[in-house]
Amino acid sequence: MASLAPTFGRGAMTNTWQDIKNANLVVVMGGNAAEAHPCGFKWVIEAKIENGAKLVVVDPRFTRTASVADYYAPIRPGTDIAFLSGVIRYLLENEKIQREYVRAYTNASLIVKEGYGFEDGLFSGYDHEKGQYEKSTWDYELDEQGFAKVDDTWEHPRSVMALLRKHVARYTPEMVSRICGTPQDKFLHICELIAETSAPDKAMTSLFALGWTQHSVGSQNIRTMAMVQLLLGNIGVAGGGMNALRGHSNIQGLTDVGLLSNQMPGYMTLPKDSEVTFDDYMKTRQFKPLRPNQTSYWQNYKKFFVSFQKSMFGDAATAENNWAYDWLPKLDVPLYDIIKAFEMMNHGQMNGYICQGFNPQQAFPDRGKIRRGLSKLKFLVTMDPLDTETSRFWENFGPQNPADSAAIQTEVFQLPTTCFAEENGSLVNSARWLQWHWKAADAPGQAMSDIWIMSGIFHRMRELYRTEGGVFPDPILNLTWNYTDPTDPDPEELAKDMNGRARADLTDPSGAVVKKGGQLLDGFAQLSDDGTTESGCWIFSGCWTDKGNQMARRDATDPRDQGIAPQWAWAWPANRRILYNRASADVAGNPWNPAKPIIQWDGAKWIGIDVPDYGPTVKPSESVGPFIMNVEGVGRLFARDQMVEGPFPEHYEPLESPAINVLHPKVQSNPAVRVFADDRADFGTPSEFPYVATTYRLTEHFHYWTKHARINAILQPQEFVEIGEALAQEKGIAQGSWVRVRSKRGFIVCKAYVTKRIKPLTVDGKPTHVIGVPLHWGFTGQARKGYGANTLTPSVGDANTQTPEFKAFLVNVESVNGPEA
Amino acid sequence: MSNLQSQDYIRISATTVTPPAARSWEDQVAKLIDVTRCIGCKACQAACMEWNNLRDEVGFFEGTYDNPLDLDPHTWTLMRFTEYENPKGDLEWLIRKDGCMHCEDPGCLNACPAPGAIVQYANGIVDFISENCIGCGYCVKGCPFNIPRISQADHKSYKCTLCSDRVAASLEPACVKACPTGAIMFGSKKDMTDWAGERVIDLKSRGFENAGLYDPPGVDGTHVMYVLHHADKPSIYAGLPDQPKISSTVEFWKGLLKPLALGSIAFGVVAGFVHWITAGPNEVQPEDEAEANHLLASKGRPTADPSRSIAEETP
């Protein structure tokens, strides 16, 4: 969530599924909610039927979501920033922003440093050698007290608003249409619909998913819409928000507990190599407010950090050893993401791989490269409830997996695990709810829980370190492991670890004991940096308290029938359901939309249907901003140094594109993107691969799992691609016939679905065809064997997160004879 | 297929006597399929397979999202997808859940020559009672919606039961329960008609001037109804009949020919009995056995269900 956190302060869906019903306008762009989230989509239908909402879909294809939309417009894959920058320009030109909100709750009025600039596609500070930015000019001009300077009139040429106006001026409707291929009238109609929600009592919700993230500019796609929503005053309000619809039941939980290679639990960040001491580390994590009176809640970073270290290492983490800071891994590169991991495998730099609940042979780009990488390993451990393509990568399945088994030396350990229904535990949904679930059945055969397997690996490794020593045994030998059954900790015990406990009696300012040593904490407000508390994931603190398992609550009472049931499960942080809900009220504390209030000021405190995302008794007159995690207290239109490719979003072409970047031909694609040399050599050109391809999911399947289930296999049995009628006619491709789709990296042979739902777009005067590649089929399971869409996709990721660019790349297509029966 | 009992019958195939309405207090039920809020997710299809224990073969991609390609004895409901370009030139993707319409005046029941093989309950559901089915296929001919399918395995006719077993236990049909967007609703026919009226008002306000309820009078209305954006053109929804009615052949059969034909069947039975009495039973000769075994061997397997073999032959 490398776009929402830089904008609002937290990397998570701002509202909830249920809250979608409060919207006046639902925009689905960068996603296909009806197809990928059919159950959650009920709230869109609810908004339409009960709230009279309109549904707008912008997508390269006429999708299942489009089939129930009020308005649809096509767009070329990979051009969303141009479209949305055009929307921003429209809103500013036509005075369709919520001025009072923008002035008080965004950084529009803050003044940017002299030296910041943007020219010919590059922001100030670009290092052409390194392909990276030096970002010191992407910041505010500070006064003597260290606060950002302000111009509420927005007339200062370096006010964020003035710079934004200048930045988006190029994105005229003509330019948007020229880049995106969206007809101008359709673009303008959507602008009009969006602009209507600038009224204080109207809200638009943005629903998106991988259609925005899986681009080399993925994070900036999302940021552009986040800026639109700030300008409209649609963040923090009922029916508004940036709603990142998560594709796995627990993918929000994955980032929450810090499973990304540069993260720690609760969105703390791992130290860098250059941060040798704890002081170095904390120096850049002070979060000193940049405006007077601001909360800047990350000022408590040290409390979260120390409590985490105490949870990990217990008594071994002391003030003297800087809370065992030296035992944390230090990053020598920005990320050890999966693209990097497979690059390293291919160069013999990574020799073993534990692949837990993950199927890279099917899920990661350039399938051939993935297979070659796995083939060079000494060992591969797979942990999965299902047979996966990854665990069988070494087996020859014919053209769909032409492995040369005899030449592969990798030793593969395939460990069957339990699935969610065979164990207790919690899942974090898109809306940040931690929902407890109970075991429904015993696991079949030899399947064991992930916890049991990881515990076993840990105990054996620790024993080896104990008996044989090692280069750096301290973190392993000192890891806290206080569980009833050390070989198989209970999910309940682990959940309590995350919540955290007092390690000594905690007292309030009057000296009264509020928690005895060993008691579970009530929430993260009780955490301290003196070693008297521990918490494995500070944002989860409050999920399992002395009152019991809050995640197991199942009271659906919804006091205002507004989609907020505070006693159903538990949401981080602090059971707040709508993030930044202070912004649902105006500066004086009265709801912008009296029909759908969330919280409001009653003269003494904030009251309402949600837990205030704000100091509960902070007076409106104190001018504390609603974005309490941000040092400025306001939402960021200008992202400072938080993004690698610029403080404002800019349109860059996908790495494989049929078009020249008409805005700045010399800077064709994202200048801060990381591309490995052999991957770059595997990019195709439009002369050889003239068609744009995009990959996606179908509602009949869940990723690569449900092809193992008979019913799902019946409902969508076989691999196919979607081709527009015009292109099919040009290439002599008949409905349902066989085609070969090639990229520079490989080919797939499958059936063709010739459809009216994809039409050629006119991009910079030229017709541009799009080919759709659904991605569910592989060589295991009950559905028919398929080559897999990742055979075609390029190995390049978003410049911030390295999420692979699956949504826009180049292919060619030809009609072929089917495989011999 | 049902927990309902014969007391609930209001019509019985091949029977001229209308049963006494022992349980006539039952509400007329209806399933309302709101095509305009359907996203084509096929949860209804999956639920139908789950509840009724039906599993078709894993098929092939045939240039459409309609999977399986057609209704069959294992597929009692099917999403049918149509790419329709409206007169304004805009694309609409029309998605219709196909299956038995449970006609108030059921063509299948009228056509059926097997006594008690097709019945209608007081709540309006039209059900096939398999043990009475003779697999003649007249119901297929009689249906104005082309719904029933004859199984090649047991030579009986199958179609959606409107989950008469669930409805008898006061549950909604499985497809209704599974639908994530509320596009399939179930209740009394009156409530469903009223709700459809509200939906039509909303659709008209969104520019669908011809939105309406599909409850065709040609079959005296149906117990499965559709809300359509274009109720003036039902046939654009994958061939939903514009004006369904029972074919004149069936009407003829029902009115005049059926008593005659039943008479001739009765004559056949009597004549057969007389022949058996006078000429003795027809016995199987050794050469008949040999011929039968030869036929079986040439198919390479016992007489098993032929529909099960496709996947096994093409792994």
Say which residues have a Cβ less than 8 Å from residue A193's Cβ, sequence separation at least 6: A25, A54, A56, A71
pLDDT value for A366: 97
pLDDT value for B297: 64
User: Residue A359 — very low, low, confident or very high, per pLDDT cuts 50/70/90?
Assistant: very high
CB contact under 8 A, A711 and B62: no
- B-facing residues of A in 774-813 (CB < 8 A) are 782-784
A99 pLDDT more than 50: yes
Judged by a CB distance cut-off of 8 A, whether residue A736 touches chain B is yes
What six digits make up the tokens of A755?
């459809």
Q: Which amino acid is at A288?
A: K
Backbone dihedral region for residue A685 (phi beyond 0: left; psi -120 to 50: alpha; all else: beta):
beta
pLDDT value for B306: 38
pLDDT value for A155: 97
pLDDT digits (tens, 9 = 90+) for A216-275: 999 999 999 999 999 999 999 999 999 999 888 889 999 999 999 999 999 999 999 999
Say which of B36, B60, B181 has its CB closest to residue A718.
B60
Min CA distance, A537 vs chain B (Å)? 34
User: Angle at Cα A296 formed by Cα A294 and Cα A300, nearest 5°?
Assistant: 135
CB contact under 8 A, A49 and B37: yes
pLDDT value for B247: 81
Do residues B161 and B223 make contact, with C-beta atoms less than 8 angstroms apart? no
Say which residues have a Cβ less than 8 Å from residue A814's Cβ, sequence separation at least 6: A731, A739, A740, A742
- pTM of this structure: 0.93
Do residues A773 and A695 make contact, with C-beta atoms less than 8 angstroms apart? yes
CB contact under 8 A, A752 and B206: no
CB contact under 8 A, A753 and B40: no
List chain A residues with CB under 8 Å of B183. Answer: 45
pLDDT value for A525: 97
CB contact under 8 A, A38 and B39: yes
Say which of A66, A716, A821 has its CB closest to residue B67.
A716
User: Range(s) for CATH 3.40.228.10 in chain A?
Assistant: 4-247
pLDDT digits (tens, 9 = 90+) for A770-805: 999 999 999 999 999 999 999 999 999 999 999 999
Supply the CATH classification number for the domain B6-246.
Answer: 3.30.70.20
Nearest CA in chain B to A714: B58
> A677-815 has which fold?
Barwin-like endoglucanases (2.40.40)
User: Range(s) for CATH 2.40.40.20 in chain A?
Assistant: 677-815
List chain B residues with CB under 8 Å of A38. Answer: 39, 41, 43, 180-181
Min CA distance, A70 vs chain B (Å)? 8
CB contact under 8 A, A49 and B202: yes
Query: Per-residue pLDDT for chain B (315 aa), expressed as one digit of tens each?
Result: 455 666 688 899 998 777 666 666 678 999 999 999 999 999 999 999 999 999 999 999 999 999 999 999 999 999 999 999 999 999 999 999 999 999 999 999 999 999 999 999 999 999 999 999 999 999 999 999 999 999 999 999 999 999 999 999 999 999 999 999 999 999 999 999 999 999 999 999 999 999 999 999 999 999 999 999 999 999 999 999 999 998 887 776 666 566 666 666 667 767 777 776 776 666 667 776 777 667 666 555 444 343 433 333 333
Nearest CA in chain B to A719: B61
Our measurement of the distance from residue A306's CA atom to the centroid of its chain's CA atoms, rounded to an integer in Å, reads: 27
CB contact under 8 A, B63 and A754: yes
CB contact under 8 A, B59 and A718: yes
User: Residue A383 — very low, low, confident or very high, per pLDDT cuts 50/70/90?
Assistant: very high
C-alpha neighbours within 13 Å on the C-beta side of residue A562 = 21
pLDDT digits (tens, 9 = 90+) for A273-325: 999 999 999 999 999 999 999 999 999 999 999 999 999 999 999 999 999 99
C-alpha neighbours within 13 Å on the C-beta side of residue A650 = 25
- Whole-angstrom CA distances from A726 to A98, A115, A585, A767 are 43, 50, 51, 10
pLDDT value for B264: 66
Q: Could you give the CA distance from residue A228 to residue A245 in angstroms, rounded to a whole number? A: 18
CB contact under 8 A, A757 and B83: yes
pLDDT digits (tens, 9 = 90+) for A475-527: 999 999 999 999 999 999 999 999 999 999 999 999 999 999 999 999 999 99
pLDDT value for B277: 72
Residue A635's CB is within 10 A of a number of other CB atoms, namely 27
pLDDT value for B27: 86
ipTM: 0.95
User: Angle at Cα A222 formed by Cα A164 and Cα A210, nearest 5°?
Assistant: 160
Q: Which amino acid is at A378?
A: K
Judged by a CB distance cut-off of 8 A, whether residue A709 touches chain B is no
CB contact under 8 A, A67 and B92: yes
Q: What average pLDDT does range A24-33 have in this prediction?
A: 98
User: Any idea which residue has 């699956």 for tokens?
Assistant: A806
pLDDT value for A221: 98
For strand A691-696 and strand A263-264, is the pairing parallel, antiparallel, or unpaired? unpaired
pLDDT digits (tens, 9 = 90+) for A631-665: 999 999 999 999 999 999 999 999 999 999 999 99
% of chain A with per-residue pLDDT over 70: 100
List chain B residues with CB under 8 Å of A787. Answer: none
List chain A residues with CB under 8 Å of B67. Answer: 700, 714-717
List chain B residues with CB under 8 Å of A714. Answer: 49, 55-59, 67-68
Domain A4-247's class? alpha beta
pLDDT value for A820: 65
Min CA distance, B134 vs chain A (Å)? 29
* One-character DSSP codes across A604-627: SSEEESS--SS-TT--GGG---S-
Say which residues have a Cβ less than 8 Å from residue B133's Cβ, sequence separation at least 6: B114, B117, B156, B157
User: Angle at Cα B286 formed by Cα B283 and Cα B289, nearest 5°?
Assistant: 90
CB contact under 8 A, A751 and B63: yes
Min CA distance, B169 vs chain A (Å)? 25
Min CA distance, A408 vs chain B (Å)? 26
- B-facing residues of A in 645-704 (CB < 8 A) are 699-700
Q: Could you give the CA distance from residue A593 to residue B146 in angstroms, rounded to a whole number? A: 52
CB contact under 8 A, A753 and B61: yes
pLDDT value for B302: 46
Judged by a CB distance cut-off of 8 A, whether residue A352 touches chain B is no
A356 pLDDT more than 90: yes
Residue B106's CB is within 10 A of a number of other CB atoms, namely 29
What six digits make up the tokens of A560?
């205002």
pLDDT digits (tens, 9 = 90+) for A657-705: 999 999 999 999 999 999 999 999 999 999 999 999 999 999 999 999 9
A551 pLDDT more than 60: yes
Q: What average pLDDT does chain A have?
A: 97
